[in-house]
Amino acid sequence: MWAFSGRVRSISNKDIALIVSKNLFSTKAKHSNSVFSVSINSALTLAASGPDGSSVSDEILSFLRSSSTDELNAVFSKIVSVVFADHSANGGPKISSVNGVWIKKTLPIDSSFKDLFENFFKAVFDRVDFRSKLNKWAEDHTNGLIKDLLPHGSISSLTNCVYGSALYFKGAWQVPFVKSNTIYGTSVAVPFMSSYENQYLKAYNGFKVLRIPYRQGDDEDQSQLLLSTRPFRFSMYFYLPDKNDGLEDLVKTMASTSEILNCHIPRCKVLVNEFRIPKFKIAYGLDGQDLGLRSMALYHKACVKIDEEGADAAAVTFAYSDGCSMYLEPPKRIDFVADHPFLFLIREDKTGTVLFVGQIFDHSDKSA
């Protein structure tokens, strides 16, 4: 799970993100465009603190690699108040993180749980007609990107309590792409954004990493500072294997190598030769069984859209169990042509917190 030492310094939710991506991208989402958000952790943290019993909390603690619900709650508080704080008023990314707990209208409310969820988690706590209320809540808190998450039949008469988490991110590129430079690819017939600007790009053994920073607002003049000394900053990362069919092996390597994200960060701009990345919009849904969860039901959907201006991303998770009572490069030119499968992340650079993880396998898929 995430680890804190004094102030926010090393948050290893990236480890969970890569483990889940390895399992998901090699099974259900193999050879398909997919994305998920580690905001799943927020809904599971709420559930672990609920009255569903030890079977639920024990499985969640195991899944999130945490030793106790107290540790989960401490991490949740730091993430929500620090990383997920909205920066749009200062010209930075807009971030919205909202949580909720809903119980069946006919059930009595335990005041201790109500106090915990409302005052500590800052979650909506309400009695509701589940399905219609929750799908609207998801759509409202994701700027309309997540719709109809809960399908018919997902909520039964036995469902007494549902835990939810919604995350919305909208960031403008620090250096926008010029729309007139967007062209259709030759090997892949989709629109590719192109640029002649130097880029945060580095070639490693077997793959390349591109980092595109989002506009940060009032702290833009601190761009020459090391990542570790800046205020909180967000970037999108593209991990492009050298081999056209190398994505699966790259994901496996990343998931099994500790600190691989922190050790593969392009920290200075370099000259580029050919440079193209695709515009895309993808949406993907998964459930608890896809994550190996047995003691509770979970529905999750995420959506990421990037264009010349920036990125829109959103995710919602609902979880419940039936029966609850409640780093420099010489100046050489590097190609980066993302016309074959690649991995991407949206990440906060100082803490290393990963917000979204996805893969583009089929550039021509317009199913989102």
Report pLDDT for 10: 34
Position with higher pLDDT, 207 vs 155: 207
Average pLDDT (342-350) is 92
> What CA–CA distance (Å, rounded) separates 174 from 216?
7
Give the CATH superfamily of 179-278+329-360.
Alpha-1-antitrypsin, domain 1 (2.30.39.10)
pLDDT above 90: residue 119: no
Residue ranges per structural domain of the chain: 29-172+280-320, 179-278+329-360
Question: Whole-model pTM?
Answer: 0.87
Report pLDDT for 8: 34
Average pLDDT (88-116) is 85
Q: Is the dihedral of CA 131, 47, 140, 120 positive or negative?
A: positive
Average pLDDT (334-340) is 91
pLDDT above 60: residue 340: yes
Report pLDDT for 12: 59
The alpha-helical segments, DSSP class H, found in 213-294 are 247-256
Which tens digits make up the pLDDT trace of 206-244?
Answer: 999 999 999 987 655 444 444 444 555 899 999 999 999
- Residue 60 pLDDT class (50, 70, 90 cuts): very high
Average pLDDT (311-318) is 97
Position with higher pLDDT, 18 vs 202: 202
Report pLDDT for 7: 35
Position with higher pLDDT, 124 vs 267: 267
Report pLDDT for 133: 86
Q: Which CATH architecture has domain 29-172+280-320?
A: 2-Layer Sandwich (3.30)
Position with higher pLDDT, 230 vs 83: 83
> What CA–CA distance (Å, rounded) separates 190 from 188?
6
207-221, 260-274, 321-335: which has the highest mean pLDDT?
260-274
Average pLDDT of every residue of the chain:
86
Average pLDDT (151-168) is 88
Number of Cβ atoms within 10 Å of the Cβ of 145: 23
CA atoms within 13 A on the CB side of 285: 15
Q: Which residues 6+ apart lie within 8 Å of 334 measured at CB?
A: 201, 202, 203, 208, 270, 271, 272, 273
Percentage of residues in the chain with pLDDT exceeding 70? 88
Percentage of residues in the chain with pLDDT exceeding 90? 56
> What CA–CA distance (Å, rounded) separates 191 from 340?
14
CATH topology agreement for domains 29-172+280-320 and 179-278+329-360: no
Q: Is the dihedral of CA 358, 362, 363, 367 positive or negative?
A: negative
Report pLDDT for 185: 83
Q: What are phi and psi of 362, to 5 degrees?
A: -115, 105
